[in-house]
Structure 1
Amino acid sequence: MVSFGPITTCSIVALSILSFVYCDKYRLCVVDGKGHFKRSQRYCPQLDMAVDSKVDCIVAPDRSDCLRKILKGKADFSVFAPEDLITASSEGVQLLVTNELRYINEEHEYEVVAVIDNNSEIKSRHDLGGKKFCHPGYGYETDWTRILSNFFEASVVTPSCDPHLTLSENRIKATAEFFQSACKAGPWVNDPVLDNQLKEKYPQLCELCGSPGRCTTHDKYWGRRGSLLCLTDGAGDISWARLDDVKSHFGLVAGSAEATPERYSFLCPDDSIIPVNSSKPCVWVVKPWPVVAAKREKADEIQKLVSSLSHKDQNTWKFSLLNLIETSYTNFFKLPTLEPIESYLDRATGYLSANSFSGCHPPRTIRICTTSIIENAKCSWMRESAGVYGVEPDLECIKADNTTHCMMAINMNAADVVMVPPDMVHEAVEKYNLKTLFYETVLESEKYLTVAVTRQGANINSFEDFRGKKACFPVYDGVAWNTVKNTLFSKKLIKYCPLDQEMASFFGPSCTPGLPEKEGGNLKKLCQQEDFNGEFGALHCLSSEAGDVAFVSKNSIRKFTSDESEGNPGNRLSMDDFQILCEGNSKNCHLSWASAAQAMIRSNSSDLWMKDSLDVFLQLDGLFGKNFKFLTNPFTMFGQYDGKSNLLFQDSTQRLRNRPNARDTDTMPYFYNFTLKTDDYCTIRSSSSNLSPTYLYIFIAFIYLSKLVHIGI
């Protein structure tokens, strides 16, 4: 947008005999929330189209994108959580806080205190060892981030830094050894299996709960009020709780009381003790309000505008602006002076300290390998976002030129994790000695479902009919290639080693992009005609009648025929132009299925490192994935970044799992990774030439069954 005049003023611009009035508007970055907080489609058009409007909408997928838009001059202001302000400071985004979004007239959204039973003989933090601790627990991070949840323990408990334990277990162990017992209900870590193991190992941290054996979010002592009930029911000696809940619990504000305050006191950070009914309670840490923050040069005018908004302005553009900014019925509290984010947060007792506790030394870091500048940038913003929500170990983003170089870096211990597309999994395993840490699981409509596709009307009814036919593969050593090789081998249509050369003898002139010359030139002859690379290339190879069969993902056919971009040969075709070979099995026509991508690591990675790393990515998924718990998303893991798709993770990913299926109830057969054991036949045969073919097939079957048991399918 070109500016012709001062902010909020209009200038007359003359072009020949025409003239028009141009008004430079403030640009609000809008992030849609969930449910009825999806407001951009309703209010942005009203805001943009109003003749007298002073604001335009810039819609973003998450709050970190709004920070980047302001940094790049594409937006002027937005609504941010206090965690976003820490990220902004780390990333060098210059903002001034103009207004707080308060729903009650309090200085902070909430304050957190430590309440003790006067009969517990606690006189200072030095008396806390061996006492009984009531904690709100975990599982409602929208309201209570792990950083604030763990602040008290981080302040009073000597940390454990056992190199043989995960960081999560080190924290749990330190608390278990410091207090006599506790109730810390809810998920301690994100992997349910590991969570149960930790609770069995440290049962004292569930001992005070109503149901110690379960220790879940359903416990009567779980949650904000749960920790206070744990205290006043006589189970514990000290409770970590929100001050507003304390006032309500002890009847210090209007409403029903659960207990009388005379027996209880606040333990203060300076080791003093004051009564719970004191008019000046002592606070350990506060949570600042969400705020409106703006570019420095426009902050004064934006503050005046936001401060003027009122629910009385219905049927005006200001009412649309109000509905885009407020998160609930909000009072736009005007700060006495415009304030840089650093000094604003510094006034929030304990908040910056909570975000700056040092960890163990040497620190543990997970080095993520990225394959482009923009992917590395997304990784860096994910790293910053993870830090402000207490995710550990730390992340480090390392850039390479491509996935192959990343796999080399991991093999050489120069990086730790890389996201590998399914077509490169076999190469990762065989050439770079990698293994899977977790999978990007997707809906069935996005899985790679390998099928044999022919043109409609082709007289092909079985795999035997493909002998001598011209085949179109997306890429050598990819999902389709290895699946077909496994299928032909299992049907005993190819039998001898090397199997790749057997493929060349089975098919007629074909196209297999990337096939090494030594593996059989017959399988590359069709590639010389046109660009038949990739899924669309293989389908083009088939539809142009160069080939007789294409081995591709079933979902690629739909995308090939629906993609209307110029130059796509499939946009003149329909699904009805193709037929899929089912070979008598109409339910499972696919030959294999693969997840969207896999995170791969060194095969000699320790079990300890894998637990630490898996927990980090599962935390990230819970915070920033498709099922984020916040009103608006702080950062988008699975979606576009700066307008680019499939960076670092696939946009279609539903969740991360250490199993390839999206849910435990998924029962789709023929998981692709199992087919990769087919080549073991030749390896075994070369080293065990005296074994009969029957025993070799039994051995391969045993490997498959072992893999099934390993991932629990």
Structure 2
Amino acid sequence: MESLKLLILCSFVKFVLLQGVGSGSNGNLRLCIVEGRGAYKRGAKFCPVLDAENSGMECVLGTDRLDCLRRISKGTVDFGAFSPEDLIAAQWADLDVLVTHELRHRQRDYERTVVAVVNRKILPDHPWSLDAVLRNTTLCHPGNGINDLRPLSDTLSGYLESLVVTRSCDPQLSLTENRIKAVANFFGKACKAGYWVPDFIRDAELKEKYPSLCAACESSCSLKDRYWGASGALSCLLDGAGDVMWGELDDVIAYFGLNTNSSMYPSSDNFAYLCRDGTWQPLKDNPNPCVWLNRPWPVIIAKRKTAAAVAAALSTLSSGALFDGRWRGALAALLEAREAPAPRRPPAAPLDHLAAAAGFREAYSQSGCRPPRHVTLCTTSLLARNKCEWLSEAGAVYGAAPALQCAARRGAAGCLQALARRDADVAVLPADYMLRAVREFDLSPVLYEVTPIVEKMNTVVAYVKKSANINKMADLRGRRAAFPRYDGFAWQSVMDYLSKKHNCDDILNNYFSEICAPGIEKYNLSETIVNRFTKSCYQNGGEVDEEKAALMSVVDGHSDVAFISMKTFNLFKAEQISSGESIIDDIVPLCPDDNVKYCYLSWANIGHIYAPKNISDMRRHEIKNVFTKLDQLFGKHQPFHNPMFSIFGPFNHQLDVIFHNNTKSLASEELLEMHPYVTMPFNFERRILNNTLNNCQITDQMNSAPKLTSSLFLIVPTLVVFVLGK
């Protein structure tokens, strides 16, 4: 008995020592989790249990699963739960991590197994090639989904098709259309219901061009068609509408009742499993049929240094402890473990772990068309380029095509020049650069970052002091004005608004007594003019947000009106409330008479994805397809999904990297025309794209008198011309 006590004590000491190597406080193991987007927050519910019961563990909230994987690699957290697709996405980064456990919920080697089922009427007398068996038959396709495999992801679906269909690489067609064309040319008919591309307008065009891929559907070739999805494809096969389908083994077994002797299920006698070598097997009494693809279980990943400690900690999660209401039950809930984690002995490198799953790694290493195609995104910082590279890898896992490549230039101006020179294909820039992009660099927005909340859009509102006796726009004449920047969104919007009643010479010379327009020093103007348009600007001795500086200029009495966004004003107001100050109470918006409802002078979408205006329709389709697919996969469309990556989320603790955090989705111009806020007045983008924006510019031809009332003239912005190569 004493020996047994000593053994137990030694085991406990060893466990404690192993836990002590964690990266958290007092050597705690740090678990990285991603909260779902629904009302249920498992972190808020279960993380405090780990703290309260001295579990030796603590939680860290990650933005997304790849954020957690980066944190583990950097050593700031110790372990987390991941999908096998996460490991594929991160393989390029050469992360020094190990797989310690699988998170199984059934006693079998793989979470999902994909098989092919055919109607026996198409089978030849003897085994033959897949081409000979399947060409000109009718395919019941389960449809492409945005999750791991239900229905098939674009990547896995494309892989299965590639085992049968010869690739099409027509340079005049987008990669997506090439793939659709190849399937249409191989099969006689098909029911490939659901969206083929996220843009429903382009989706309708493709379905009209390749009608054979909808010919076997029962009605609409949409998500509402009876033959869409896993069970829909099986119904298509059983009804005789199609000859062959891919699906999960579980679905096939359940549909035909292959594990029961009940007569309630349809007969499987007329159907068979088709193997990758052209042979076939019976459905009945065949517990281990030939498979086309295995998908591994989700896994626990730990950094190499703490893998042993994590393995020891999770070894205490017996089936009886998963729901005990104590810290082990909390840990199981955080890992979403339905059964005790299955240890991987010994812990393995991610790609070694995935290698055993038939077809899985092959699906993510398919060769493409030659020469390869890609869309190069120009980013304005190294941090943005880093996010772009992770987004590229995540998109590649789920079949976003063409592949996204990343380039970095110094600031927005550098990206505008890169697009004009065709050194990059697209750039994501705010409304401040829209006039330059369209008029100087011959670019146009391909997609827009949109939000349905007016307060979060790009807006220009006049803010004044309540006590200043300024009640209408006409009262601003002779007052001091503060702009966030010269020639930016606010400047252009105000000049355009005022030009409806005044000419530019009057606006610049007489309307305001003083103008603060920081950034004018970057233009080729005299020091006298630069001083005149910056001397009244708010100064705090350091870096300050341009819009906040304009607002502070009014707060501190340097200006009478600030032209800034509702978003900045609301953020500043929230800061004042949280700090207990009430300075902001005296600042109110000045609504124009012709827009009392919304109160702004102008509005624009949060951001714009620009491309050269004269690109081909095919290239425009490819750009739209890759970014709308990334939005569909990693945007805000799945309220209860823990994403692999967050395209609109923080990155490395920074907000608004490439895309804005307030963005709801990416939309084309056609979709914007159908949006409810298309009727909102004073849209900035339309006026620029329709060439109706009046923009007043400052010239160096002005009197040396110290007052702004000296002579000013309107000039046309310098046109930058580049000689473009092919």
TM over 0.5, yes or no? yes
* Structure 1 residue matching 2:663: 3-state secondary structure: coil
Are residue 178 (structure 1) and residue 180 (structure 2) matched? no
One-letter amino acid of the counterpart of residue 425, structure 2: D
Residue number among 637, 648, 664 corresponding to 2:675 in the alignment: 664
Separation in 1 of the partners of 2:90 and 2:604?
Answer: 38
Are residue 99 (structure 1) and residue 104 (structure 2) matched? no
Specify whether residues 83 and 428 from structure 1 end up closer, same or farther in structure 2 by C-alpha distance, changes over 3 A only: same
1:25 equivalent in structure 2: 28
Checking the alignment, whether the CA contact within 8 Å between 2:495 and 2:696 is kept in structure 1 is: no
* Structure 2 residue matching 1:48: 3-state secondary structure: helix
Answer with 657-666 or 616-625: which moved more.
657-666
Separation in 2 of the partners of 1:528 and 1:287?
Answer: 60
Are residue 228 (structure 1) and residue 234 (structure 2) matched? yes
Specify whether residues 36 and 291 from structure 1 end up closer, same or farther in structure 2 by C-alpha distance, changes over 3 A only: farther
Are residue 456 (structure 1) and residue 495 (structure 2) matched? no
Deviation at 1:493, TM superposition (A): 1.5
Gaps of 5+ in 1: 13-21, 684-713
One-letter amino acid of the counterpart of residue 311, structure 2: Q
Deviation at 1:348, TM superposition (A): 0.2
Checking the alignment, whether the CA contact within 8 Å between 1:27 and 1:76 is kept in structure 2 is: yes
1:514 equivalent in structure 2: 519
* Structure 1 residue matching 2:116: 3-state secondary structure: strand
1:275 equivalent in structure 2: 282
Deviation at 1:455, TM superposition (A): 1.2
Deviation at 1:457, TM superposition (A): 3.4
Deviation at 1:23, TM superposition (A): 4.8
Deviation at 1:673, TM superposition (A): 1.7
Checking the alignment, whether the CA contact within 8 Å between 2:19 and 2:56 is kept in structure 1 is: no
1:602 equivalent in structure 2: 612
Separation in 2 of the partners of 1:269 and 1:459?
Answer: 81
Deviation at 1:522, TM superposition (A): 8.8
Separation in 2 of the partners of 1:177 and 1:584?
Answer: 58
Please give the residue correspondences for 1:165-564 in structure 2 after superposition, counting only pairs within 5 Å: 165-211=173-219, 214-254=220-260, 258-277=265-284, 278-310=286-318, 312-313=320-321, 314-326=324-336, 329-442=338-451, 443-490=453-500, 492-494=501-503, 499=504, 502-515=507-520, 516=523, 517=525, 524=533, 526-527=535-536, 530=539, 534-564=546-576
Specify whether residues 82 and 256 from structure 1 end up closer, same or farther in structure 2 by C-alpha distance, changes over 3 A only: farther
| Root-mean-square deviation over aligned CA pairs | 2.7
One-letter amino acid of the counterpart of residue 38, structure 1: K
Separation in 1 of the partners of 2:60 and 2:211?
Answer: 50
1:689 equivalent in structure 2: none
Checking the alignment, whether the CA contact within 8 Å between 2:604 and 2:684 is kept in structure 1 is: yes
Checking the alignment, whether the CA contact within 8 Å between 1:509 and 1:525 is kept in structure 2 is: no
2:72 equivalent in structure 1: 70
Specify whether residues 207 and 655 from structure 1 end up closer, same or farther in structure 2 by C-alpha distance, changes over 3 A only: same
Deviation at 1:611, TM superposition (A): 0.8
Specify whether residues 500 and 43 from structure 1 end up closer, same or farther in structure 2 by C-alpha distance, changes over 3 A only: farther
Are residue 582 (structure 1) and residue 592 (structure 2) matched? yes
Q: Deviations 1:541-577 (Å, cap 9, x if unpaired)?
A: 22222222222213322222322599x9x95412443
* Structure 2 residue matching 1:609: 3-state secondary structure: helix
* Structure 2 residue matching 1:261: 3-state secondary structure: coil
Checking the alignment, whether the CA contact within 8 Å between 1:511 and 1:524 is kept in structure 2 is: yes
Residue number among 630, 633, 650 corresponding to 1:623 in the alignment: 633
Specify whether residues 389 and 376 from structure 1 end up closer, same or farther in structure 2 by C-alpha distance, changes over 3 A only: same
Q: Deviations 1:212-242 (Å, cap 9, x if unpaired)?
A: xx21111111111111111111111111111
Specify whether residues 444 and 256 from structure 1 end up closer, same or farther in structure 2 by C-alpha distance, changes over 3 A only: farther
Specify whether residues 669 and 261 from structure 1 end up closer, same or farther in structure 2 by C-alpha distance, changes over 3 A only: same
Specify whether residues 663 and 646 from structure 1 end up closer, same or farther in structure 2 by C-alpha distance, changes over 3 A only: farther
1:653 equivalent in structure 2: 663
One-letter amino acid of the counterpart of residue 664, structure 1: H
Separation in 2 of the partners of 1:249 and 1:675?
Answer: 57
Deviation at 1:263, TM superposition (A): 1.4
Deviation at 1:306, TM superposition (A): 1.8
Separation in 2 of the partners of 1:545 and 1:312?
Answer: 68
Q: Deviations 1:378-421 (Å, cap 9, x if unpaired)?
A: 11111111111111101111111211111111111111111111
Q: Identity across aligned pairs (percent)?
A: 36
Specify whether residues 669 and 661 from structure 1 end up closer, same or farther in structure 2 by C-alpha distance, changes over 3 A only: farther
Specify whether residues 118 and 10 from structure 1 end up closer, same or farther in structure 2 by C-alpha distance, changes over 3 A only: closer
Checking the alignment, whether the CA contact within 8 Å between 2:576 and 2:583 is kept in structure 1 is: no
Deviation at 1:193, TM superposition (A): 0.3
Specify whether residues 588 and 631 from structure 1 end up closer, same or farther in structure 2 by C-alpha distance, changes over 3 A only: closer
2:131 equivalent in structure 1: 126
Checking the alignment, whether the CA contact within 8 Å between 2:218 and 2:225 is kept in structure 1 is: yes
Separation in 2 of the partners of 1:257 and 1:236?
Answer: 23
Separation in 1 of the partners of 2:639 and 2:147?
Answer: 7
Specify whether residues 67 and 482 from structure 1 end up closer, same or farther in structure 2 by C-alpha distance, changes over 3 A only: same
* Structure 2 residue matching 1:138: 3-state secondary structure: coil
One-letter amino acid of the counterpart of residue 242, structure 1: E
Deviation at 1:336, TM superposition (A): 4.1
Specify whether residues 584 and 66 from structure 1 end up closer, same or farther in structure 2 by C-alpha distance, changes over 3 A only: closer
Deviation at 1:88, TM superposition (A): 2.7
2:700 equivalent in structure 1: none
Specify whether residues 71 and 447 from structure 1 end up closer, same or farther in structure 2 by C-alpha distance, changes over 3 A only: same
Checking the alignment, whether the CA contact within 8 Å between 1:138 and 1:217 is kept in structure 2 is: no
* Structure 1 residue matching 2:418: 3-state secondary structure: helix
